[in-house]
Every structure is written in C-alpha cells, then in structure tokens.
Structure 1
C-alpha cells in the first residue's frame, strides 16, 4: 500500500460451534461484495456442527468466500496481535462456550485471542448467539461481554419486512449484524425507511 492509500475495511469473522451455520454464506458474500477484507477462523466445534447438520454450508464453502483463512490453533496468526489493524470482529454463531471464554478473558484459541485483542484495542466486537433458553451462567456471561465492550445480538430475524422464504429471514439477520459495522447490505428493507 502506498503512503496515503487507504486499506479496505478489514474484519475478523469467527465461527464457533453453535447451530446457525446457514447465516454464514450470505454474511461472507455480503462482506465480499462490499469490498471488506475478511479473516475467517473456523473452530473445531464449528466444523463438527457443519458435519452433523449436513445440509448447510461446509468449511470449503465458507473458506472460498473469505479473503484470508486462519487455523483456530494458530495463536501466532496476524489477527492474534493488537498491532495488526482490523476494524473489528464478528462471531457468528457464538456458542455458549465461546461466549464464556470471551466474557472471562480466556484466550486458548485464535478465535478467543482475536476477540480479546478486539476488546483490548477498543474495536467493535459483535457476538451473535443462537441458543435458547439462556441459563443464568449464560446470562451472566452475556452481561460480562457487554460490559467489556462487545455488542451482543441474537440470530433472531424480524418479520415486518414480510419475508417470503428462509433466505429472506437469513438476509434480515445478516443486514442487522453488518449494520453494527456501519455497512449497508443491498436489498434490506428497513422499518418505515420510506418515512411512513
């Protein structure tokens, strides 16, 4: 990059072992179409969930949509350091176990280390959980993550945009998640955006 040239927006995308993998192809595609450099990390749990669910995206489907792919066990990867500049991190889905580690500062994997770095550097960290109901320990961890500076969301689509199929529901969540980074996903219908 030459002096004065701006680098593209750069986001870390962590995928932990929660159900919700169908959200990922649309999210990664939207980020690619918006010109965002993505650093993808798939946990071993995520890979197990993909294999178990079977009908959703598989690791190769996701790595093909990412700019850079890191191994979750590689704690020497670029995104493990605060000196490597990113514009934030998205954890989708964020499992209860990964949430607990992020909330308590455990950094035993690249995903949890990158999340820790994102918080310590005061960059945006968005955790998208998809697990119900929430037991008390999980509620405590959600609050701790929030208090540490993370944005906590659930993978819950709205219905005011009159979805016609599952793809519309997935698109809604993608758009709301990427809103947190100031990114506009084409085709997202916002509540009363026409002024009505």
Structure 2
C-alpha cells in the first residue's frame, strides 16, 4: 500500500503552495487524502481561477489521473464520518498548507468543528506528524501564542517565508522552495531548490 498523507488547504492566501505540494507528492508516489475548507475553495477560485461551484471537476482538472486511479481521495469538509476522522486510519501524518490563523486557532484549542480540524486533532492525539504552513502578516500576539502552543505539542510550524539565497528566477521557483521545505520536514526527497552550499553545476 502506498504511503498516505492527509493534506488540508484553508483560506489563507497562497493556495498555490498546497496545490504544488499535492502535485509533488503525487508524482513521488504518495496517496493523498485532501480536505479543503470553504474559505480555501474561495482562495482557489480567486488566486488560481478554479471553479469552486464544480469542485470535483476542478480537482480532476488539476490532478487528472490521480483522482481517477484513487491516489488522491477528496473528502468534503463536513464529512465528519470520513476515514481520516478516526485514529484507526493509518497514515504518515498531515500537512495544512496554507494554514489560516482561524484554522490554526481551532487546532491549538482542540476545536474539531469540521473534518479538517478533526483530522488535525487526530494527528495530535495519535502522536503523528502535523505540519502547519501559516501565511499571514503581520502577526499579533494571539497568532504567536497559538504557534508557540502548537510547537510545544510537537507540531512543526513552517511559515510561508521564501528564501532568496537559491537565486529564484520566477514565481514558480519561490513556490517550489516552500513546497521543498515542507517536503524536507516530511522526510520526502526532492530536487525543488538548490540547497545552500550546493554547486551551480
């Protein structure tokens, strides 16, 4: 059975980060279970032009064969009885990318009001990796306190802060850098960016 990860996309700006990570993981042979918040769908529409009114069609257009052959499983946000809502569901962990401050607050306070936050709560209670990619600026004290609280619980906080030491030449390079940093934290090999000290050859 292919290695499985849960991926959540929420309503923070930067939907392209989540889409790019999904594509990279699917290309690497992983099986993904995807949950998108309602605000996440709004951002996918506004930033990437997805048809949020035809969600399955939009996913099939974006991920093609991965939807058809079962490597990407989409779960509606309110399907609280989905497989990923249970601790008995076996997976490697979960990534929320991008992660809105509202979703982060819910996770930090154990508020499992939908499938996405419930799946994150499952990761915490089962001791599985949970990675959050917040995308917000500026940050106020509540945001920072929630991040600290989650970090102390073992959650990996990976802010969407692209670097420039690798000499990005395009928006794609910047997006790939962030996807690569997330994959580093997942323990997944990739060649999405040049690492510090690597040769230009």
* TM-based fold match above 0.5: yes
Tell me which residue corresponds to 1:9. Answer: 3
**Residue number among 122, 125, 140 corresponding to 2:145 in the alignment:** 140
- Number of residue pairs aligned between Structure 1 and Structure 2: 187
Q: Which residues of structure 2 form unaligned runs of 5+? A: 67-71
Tell me which residue corresponds to 2:175. Answer: 170
**Residue number among 19, 24, 31 corresponding to 1:25 in the alignment:** 19
Contact 1:25 1:61 in 2 (8 A): no
Tell me which residue corresponds to 1:161. Answer: 166
1:11-45: CA deviation from partner (whole Å, max 9, x where unpaired): 00001111111212321110011101100001111
Cα distance change, pair 62–157 in 1 and its aligned pair in 2 (3 A): farther
Give the superposed CA RMSD.
Answer: 1.6
Displacement after TM superposition at 1:56 (Å):
5.0
Secondary structure of 1:13's partner? Answer: strand
Q: Which has the higher helix share?
A: 2
Q: Quick one: distance in 1 between partners of 2:95 and 2:49?
A: 20
Displacement after TM superposition at 1:168 (Å):
0.3
1:91 aligns with 2:85: no
TM-score by length of 1: 0.90
Displacement after TM superposition at 1:186 (Å):
2.5
Displacement after TM superposition at 1:133 (Å):
0.8
Secondary structure of 2:186's partner? Answer: coil
TM-score by length of 2: 0.87
Q: Quick one: distance in 2 between partners of 1:164 and 1:150?
A: 32
